Structure 1
């Protein structure tokens, strides 16, 4: 006569299956559930900023069957609240011609890895992919660039390729994207290469009150009022050695303002009714 499994064994099995599910999922309940995704946050501290935004999804950005960065995605505005990543020295390559979308934002049962939006549409004819995310066609002839938050130039292949997902871009003023912001990203590249053993970076956007890319009389993608980034640079012993932040109004002003993390926290606070808190553990101090 067979014995029924003990409750403890059953519970352990369920826990194991749950962990396996989270490890292989792209959209997760919280970043803390997935160690491979949590590693993009300094000392595993996930910012409070954006946590209360309605309709957000936690994306562990998966490409070539592994994670490369994390994105808190706002499905109502169809832009990211922020992307979090660790800088990787790069020798170029990996400039994608494809733009990826997140299948699980269409159907939770679909695959977790990002997919070329054109191909996914061909694989699922008659199913609209853009209910909860931006599509490549939204940006076409919009007058705005597909502005990377997590920049492709801060990664080596294949991480570089993974940044070409539409959940990692926002409508960015072309003058800003191609000039002042590009120069700022290049300056950070030099800084991270020369000074940091490892650099943890957050890059995000502040949505506008009511400025949108409109297609067929439908508000499709919010045009952010600001783009921003913040970084925590550490030495070989994971001790902070330098930090900073920058903001830029998403206009033809083409101006990047550099800030301390303390000043950056005050910048974010003006857009929130709740306490923003630290964006990095201990504000990237010893």
Structure 2
């Protein structure tokens, strides 16, 4: 497999949607190939086991109630990756309510006054929670990392959380990346149908935050809560056959978050790891600049 301070606003728990923030991924580790999470990313990122909106965590049925895992960067205010599996029994229908859920328990509030103000605004429906919903009017889509088309039933609903979404250029998300997602789904479904219940497709889709691009622009409403735009989106796949290692395989692909020439390229997981190592190193080298800007 490749290698790569939460402030909780207690009064907002009633609005908690789909995130179970955890100290480790033990509660949903089965979404990772060989129960091993990617490493080498932001050590301050939050680990989330994603569950259904308003659904209580059922310790007697933990496997079915936690649908996928997400590593969420509070610093960049986007997910760094979501880890999930493909259930071949799910319909190809990609329909969804398109109602996105906010996760106040992962939102960083500057003060209790700011926190309380957001509660009032939510109740009055004057505006959404600012930190996770700065996509509006910026020219970017809310791009799923765990695609809704790879899930079904409650699992599909659970993908509509902003902790599973990153700002993607409209054409990149709706044309280029969607085409690769559709091709991947067809390919993996065919393999899973062939091997019946003897194999699992483990998938991780992630982002590389751009050190130079954040939305909304400075001087516009909500700029205090700016979100990093990914420079690249990537996917790694590990297909594991339970009884025949010859039928197991892995691969990955990565592309620039660009509307016309994203250059999405298929490669080995090892080559993907090499690219990501360089890209994330560049992001880390700019992190101190972000910190200074956020202090202003």
TM-score range, shorter chain: 0.7 to 0.9
Please say if 1:232 is aligned against 2:248: no
Worse overlay, 263-272 or 202-211: 263-272
Mean CA deviation greater in 62-71 or 261-270? 62-71
Distance 1:77 1:234, change over 3 A: same
2:179 corresponds in structure 1 to: 183
Structure 1 match to 2:208: 206
Aligned pair in 2 of structure 1 residues 172, 128: CA closer, same or farther (>3 Å)? closer
The count of residues paired between Structure 1 and Structure 2 equals: 233
* Contact 2:233 2:257 (C-alpha < 8 Å) held by counterparts: yes
Tell me the residue number matched to 1:173: 169
Residues 246-265 of structure 1 deviation map (CA, whole Å, 9 limit, x = unaligned): 10101121431111011001
Question: Using a 3 Å threshold, how does the CA distance of structure 1 residues 72 and 25 change in structure 2: closer, same or farther?
Answer: closer
Of the structure 1 ranges 118-127 and 147-156, higher mean CA displacement relative to structure 2 is found in 118-127
Change in 2 beyond 3 A, CA 1:99/1:120 = farther
Going from structure 1 to structure 2, the CA distance change for 1:125 and 1:106 (only over 3 Å counts) comes to farther
**Counterpart Cα distance in 2 of 1:80 and 1:98:** 18
1:238 shift after superposition = 7.9
Structure 2 partner of 1:17 = none
In the alignment, which residue of structure 2 is the partner of 1:104?
A: 105
Q: Which runs of 5+ in 2 are unaligned?
A: 1-17, 56-64, 109-117, 193-198, 283-296
Structure 1: gaps spanning 5 or more residues: 1-23, 108-117, 275-286
CA 1:25–1:170 in structure 2 vs 1: closer, same or farther (change >3 Å)? Answer: closer
Corresponding residue for residue 24 of structure 2: 30
Instruction: Name which one, 1 or 2, has greater alpha-carbon Rg.
Output: 1
Is residue 244 from structure 1 mapped to residue 251 from structure 2 by the alignment? yes
Q: What do the CA deviations read for 1:217-249 (whole angstroms, capped 9, x no partner)? A: 435111110000101012243846121101010
Tell me the CA shift for residue 98 of structure 1.
1.0
2:41 maps to 1:50: yes
Superposed counterparts of 1:96-175, under 5 Å:
96-106=97-107, 122-123=122-123, 129-130=129-130, 133-135=131-133, 138-175=134-171
SS at match of 2:96: coil
C-alpha contact (below 8 Å) 2:94/2:149 kept by paired residues? no
Q: Within 2, Cα distance between the matches of 1:242 and 1:25?
A: 31
Higher helix share: 2
CA distance in 1, matches of 2:190, 2:120: 41
Structure 1 segments (4+ residues) deviating >3 Å: 118-130, 236-240
| Structure 1 contact 121–127 (Cα < 8 Å) conserved | yes
Shift of the 261–28 alpha-carbon distance from structure 1 to 2, 3 Å rule, reads same
